[in-house]
Amino acid sequence: MGSNTTEAHPIIGNRIKKAAKGGLQIVVIDPRSIDMVKSAHKHLQINVGTDIALINAMIHVIIKEGLYDQGFIGKHTEDFDALQAKVARYTPEYSAELTGLSAEEIAEVARMYATSSKSMIAYTLGITEHHCGVNNVFDIANLALLTGQIGKKGSGIMPLRGQNNVQGAGDMGCLPNQLTGAVSLLNDDYRQRFEKAWNVEISQKVGDTQTRTFDKIETGEIKALYCIGENPLLADVHMNHTRTLLEKLDLLIVQDIFMTETAEMADVVLPAKSWGEVDGTYTNTDRRVQRVRTAIEAQPNVKEDWEILCDLSTLMGYPMSYQSSEGIWDEVRELAWEMYGGITYARLENEYGIHYPCPDESHPGTKILHERFHADKEAERRSSFVPVDFTPPLEKPDELYPFTLTTGRRYESYNTHTQTRHYAAGVKIKQTEETLDIHPVDAARLNINNGDLVKVSSRRGSLTVKTKITEQVVPGLVFMSFHWSEVPTNVLTLNEYDPISGTAEFKACAVKIETIA
Amino acid sequence: MTSKSQVKTVCGYCGTGCGLILEVEDNKIVKIRGDKEAPVNKGQTCVKGAFAYQYVHAPERLNSPMIRKAGQLVKVSWQEAYDYISNRLSALKKDFGPDAISMFACARTTNESNYITQKFMRTVIGSNNIDGCNRT
């Protein structure tokens, strides 16, 4: 669901396609006719942002036809009645209207998912980058709990993560509400463990998400931002607004490997070591901790991220010093031992990767989470269903802005393209610049030929871009990535956010398209 | 004489975590291939993982700390940059409190650097205003 796996996670895409040849049935749920559709048993080409309408109707069918796992629900869950009441009105016919699908295909996929011995849901930002992203995820969890498709091999919920170490960064405690090991900082015992080791009192005030940070820059409550290896000016929604906010800061520190668009606005820029020059561990999308190793001597006058922070820390009166990444990792292992205690560098040398939780050195690591659901003992705690309602995208197309723009990634480029501008010589790149992907019917109606330059505008900004006529999109829907600073797609996107996660609605906004004479 | 080596590592792009073997000559990465022993990718690579590595050696890499002076970013020593940051952050913390400072951590750097990043915020600054690109 909402994952263009072959372009954004090509190797996972390969493995899924290979499994399809061995009998795996794939259902692609995506508004675009992405490459994976070719290997899929079925494609539900839903309207952008109607995932909950679809999932609720699937739940409706599964309950009505008695295809749910009654034993599992009785033993492990709560609030089944509330779920049943919530989905009552989401008949396949009702949701067919909302999603643009047929009632029959919704019911068919519901039956496939519920009755298969093993069903798994993989998703990415097509699920989360909506104003209702958290509700979308809740509803996926509802579906998995309803059918017991979780906690056993070949089942479960798999968010495919976009950055090499986005999983690890959060797990290490780079989140406003969690300490290292993914435990709430409001957990007194756990926080005190860190306070003792660090010899400080840790603030019990939960911090701000990036989204809230931008709000508080606007109100003047936040004066300084220290930004490491990230390019929010280009990557975040409503770019013109982001620029105004960054200008408002008293102090912007950027630590990076290139002079990014964000770095150009900074008061101080610090040059960091790059991949290839650093040593340590990354945690991948399936919780596997693996070693990244130094391959080359770093360029002159750059420093590793942790080295810079230790130097600053010491200068500011809290001495920190480590001899190596391994020394830091051993501190992590000691403090968050429930997760990492057994994952030593020595073991990683021999075993390649180990899945956390791995509390001690004799523990093999945990390949499958939530196995307790199928264990032969009384359940210690129950999981609640969280019934949710469908809410349509916040900015719908209208007479002035008649197209829905959805955004995503392309195969050869990575995020704001600061690194993928530098391919090895001789590599043939298919997509060398941004395009507006538009359906032939719309192109004909607007009198646009393939490759024509057009002006695309939303209520927030406009840009000029070449068109690519393709049946990957449907009439009324256009697609762009945000890889090229020359065509800054995020001047168009909408600054509305999920109230719980703070994730912006990158996947839907209204635009108009004008030909350039 | 050229010096050659092979280094096993993990790809730095998406979250799949493919194992790679880097062929290095004279301190330059000259070739990348998938590591057949890697459990995730069993020797496969995508176009980014195998070929988009020249950025490491790009002449445009930042090579000095810089401070904005009279509107322009100018190169300075590490010590000057450290002193500047330390003074400014300390002053802002004193005047407006620790929660007037916020940090965006990096989803591309190592676990070890991320651990230190949040430790820096929670000890030196005294705030939990730390987040990554989890939401984008």
Q: What are the chain B neighbours of A288 within 8 Å (beta carbons)?
A: 17, 39-40
Are residues B104 and B87 part of one domain?
A: no
- DSSP for A2-23, please give it: ---HHHHSHHHHHHHHHHHHTT
Nearest in space to A105 (alpha carbons), one of A56, A42, A153 = A42
**Residue A367 located in a structural domain:** no
A125 within a domain of the structure (yes/no): yes
Same domain, residue pair B8 and B39: yes
Q: Tell me, what's the pLDDT at A378?
A: 78
Euclidean distance between CA atoms B31 and B43, whole angstroms: 14
| Counts for chain B of helices (H) and strands (E), in that order | 3, 7
Q: Which domain holds residue A255?
A: 214-268
Contacts of B19 in chain A (CB under 8 A): 290, 352
User: CB-based contact (8 Å) between A303 and chain B?
Assistant: yes
Residues of A whose CB is below 8 A from B56: 274-277, 296
Contacts of A148 (CB under 8 A, 6+ apart): A69, A71, A72, A73, A373, A374
Indicate if B111 and B127 belong to the same structural domain: yes
CB A194 within 8 A of CB A334: no
Q: Are residues A200 and A227 in the same domain?
A: no
For each of chain A's 517 residues, which pLDDT tens digit applies?
999 999 999 999 999 999 999 999 999 999 999 999 999 999 999 999 999 999 999 999 999 999 999 999 999 999 999 999 999 999 999 999 999 999 999 999 999 999 999 999 999 999 999 999 999 999 999 999 999 999 999 999 999 999 999 999 999 999 999 999 999 999 999 999 999 999 999 999 999 999 999 999 999 999 999 999 999 999 999 999 999 999 999 999 999 999 999 999 999 999 999 999 999 999 999 999 999 999 999 999 999 999 999 999 999 999 999 999 999 999 999 999 999 999 999 999 999 999 999 999 999 999 999 999 998 887 788 999 999 999 999 999 999 999 999 999 999 999 999 999 999 999 999 999 999 999 999 999 999 999 999 999 999 999 999 999 999 999 999 999 999 999 999 999 999 999 999 999 999 999 999 999 7
Place of tokens 């109607």: A50
CB A306 within 8 A of CB A323: no
Angle between helix A325-335 and A188-198 (nearest 10):
140
In this structure, the answer to whether residues B28 and B44 fall within a common structural domain is yes
CA distances, A259 to each of A255, A269, A333, B64 (Å): 10, 8, 35, 11
Q: Which two tokens stand for residue B70?
A: 């009279």
* Same-domain check for residues A203 and A319: yes
pLDDT score of A424: 93
Q: Give the predicted TM-score (pTM) of the model.
A: 0.97
Residue A343 β-bridge partners:
none
Does residue B114 share a domain with residue B90? no
Q: What are phi and psi of A78, to 5 degrees?
A: -130, 160
Q: Does residue B33 belong to the interface with chain A, where contact is any CB pair within 8 Å?
A: no
What ipTM score was computed for the predicted complex, to two decimals?
Answer: 0.98
Q: Which domain holds residue B81?
A: 62-96
- Do A173 and B118 make contact, defined as CB atoms within 8 angstroms? yes
CATH code of the domain in which A485 resides = 2.40.40.20
Residues B14 and B52 reside in one and the same domain: yes
One domain for residues B46 and B8: yes
**Could you tell me if residue A380 is inside a domain?**
no
B119 shares a domain with B136? yes
CA–CA distances in Å: residue A192 to residues A167, A198, A341? 24, 10, 18
A261 touching B (Cβ < 8 Å): no
pLDDT at B2 > cutoff 80? no
Buried b (16+ CB within 10 A) or exposed e, A201-218: ebbeeebbbbbbbbebbe
Residue of B13, B62, B68 for testing the chain A interface, max A β-carbons within 10 Å: B62
Closest by Cβ to B63, choosing from A208, A286, A301:
A301
Distance in angstroms (rounded) separating the CA atoms of residues A5 and A23 = 19
Place of tokens 């957990």: A187
Domain co-membership, A47 together with A72: yes
We report the CATH number of the domain holding residue A351 as: 3.40.50.740
* pLDDT (0 to 100) of residue A298: 98
Other beta carbons within 10 Å of A421: 18
Nearest CA to CA, how far is A295 from chain B (Å)? 6
Q: Determine, for residues A297 and B65 on separate chains, whether the beta-carbon distance falls below 8 Å.
A: no
**B52 and B19, same structural domain?**
yes
Report the chain A residue with the minimal C-alpha distance to residue B75: A269
The angle at the Cα of B69, spanning B66 to B72, to the nearest 5 degrees, equals 75
- Residue A517's pLDDT is what? 74
> Which of A160, A175, A196 is the last residue in one of the domains?
A160
Confidence (pLDDT) at A455: 98
Which of the 8 DSSP states describes residue A394?
Answer: S
Flag whether residue A374 sits within 8 Å of chain B, measured between CB atoms.
no
Domain match, A317 and A431 both:
no
Residue A368 counted as domain residue: no
Are residues B109 and B78 part of one domain?
no
Cβ contact (<8 Å) for A165 and B122?
no
Q: What is the dihedral sign for C-alpha A502, A508, A510, A514?
A: positive
Is A382 within a domain?
no
Enumerate the β-bridge partners of residue A292.
Answer: A280
Helix axis angle for A305-315 and B111-120, nearest 10°, is 20
State the pLDDT at residue B1: 65
Q: DSSP letter at A232? A: H
Q: Which of A290, A436, A433 is closest to B10 using CA atoms?
A: A290
Is A414 within 8 Å of B60 when comparing Cβ atoms? no
The radius of gyration of chain A's CA atoms, rounded to the nearest angstrom, is 24
Q: How far apart are the first and last CA of chain B?
A: 47
**Residue in A11, A52, A1, A2 with CA at minimum distance from that of residue A408:** A2
Q: Which residues pair with B33 in a beta bridge?
A: B21
The residue type found at A218 is: E
Residue with tokens 């000029």: A464
| Tokens 């993914």, located at residue | A182
The pair of structure tokens assigned to A198 is: 């660090």
Which among A327, A360, A393 is the end of a domain?
A360
Whether residue A271 lies within 8 A of chain B, CB to CB, comes out as: yes
The three-state secondary structure class of A287 is: coil
**A137 & A85 share domain:** yes
Residue A391 lies in a domain: no
A516 touches chain B (CB under 8 A): no
Residue B136 has pLDDT above 80, yes or no: no
The domain tally of chain A equals 4
- Same domain for A168 and A91: no
Distance (Å, whole) CA B73 – CA A269: 8
Starting from the edge strand earliest in sequence, which strands make up the sheet with B4-10, in order? B4-10, B19-25, B28-34
Q: How far apart are CA A155 and CA A117, in angstroms?
A: 9
| Integer Cα distance of A36 and A122 in angstroms | 13
The answer on A197 and A150 residing in a single domain is no
Chain B contact for A222, CB < 8 A? yes
Please check whether residue A159 touches B, CB under 8 A.
no
The count of C-alpha atoms lying within 13 angstroms of the C-alpha of A471, restricted to the half-sphere facing its C-beta, is: 1
Can you give the C-alpha Rg of chain B in angstroms?
20
Under the banding of pLDDT at 50, 70 and 90, the label for residue B133 is confident
Q: Are A304 and B113 in contact (CB under 8 A)?
A: yes
A390, part of any domain: no
Task: Specify the pLDDT at position A213.
Answer: 96
| In chain B, residues 103-122 whose CB comes closer than 8 Å to chain A | 103-122
Tally of domains in chain B:
3
- One domain, residues A111 and A24: yes
A198 and A336, same domain (yes or no): yes
Separation between Cα atoms, residue A76 and residue A141, nearest integer Å = 13
Contacts of residue A327, Cβ cutoff 8 Å, sequence gap at least 6: none
Please indicate, yes or no, whether residues B28 and B67 belong to a single structural domain of this protein.
no
Q: How far apart are CA A369 and CA A475, in angstroms?
A: 41
Which ranges of chain B would DSSP assign to H, the alpha helix?
Answer: 47-51, 78-96, 111-120
Q: Is A169 close to B135, i.e. CB distance below 8 A?
A: no
- The letter for the amino acid at A43 is H
Q: Are residues A173 and A322 in the same domain?
A: yes
Q: Domain for residue A437, yes or no?
A: yes
A34 and A118 in one domain?
yes
* A45 close to A100: Cβ distance less than 8 angstroms: yes
Residue-wise DSSP of A85-139 = HHHTT--HHHHHHHHSS-HHHHHHHHHHHHHSSS-EEEE-HHHHSSTTHHHHHHH
Residue of B35, B103, B48, B40 whose CA lies nearest to A169: B103
Q: pLDDT digits over B68-106, tens only?
A: 999 999 999 999 999 999 999 999 999 999 999 999 999
CB atoms under 10 Å from CB of B72, counted, come to 8
Q: Do B111 and A283 touch (CB under 8 A)?
A: yes
Domain co-membership, A191 together with A224: no
Do residue B13 and residue A271 have CB atoms under 8 angstroms apart?
A: no
3-state DSSP call for residue A185? Answer: coil
Q: Which two tokens stand for residue A477?
A: 């829907």
CATH assignment of the domain containing B21: 2.20.25.90
Q: How far does Cα A373 stand from its chain's mean position?
A: 26
Please check whether residue A499 touches B, CB under 8 A.
Answer: no
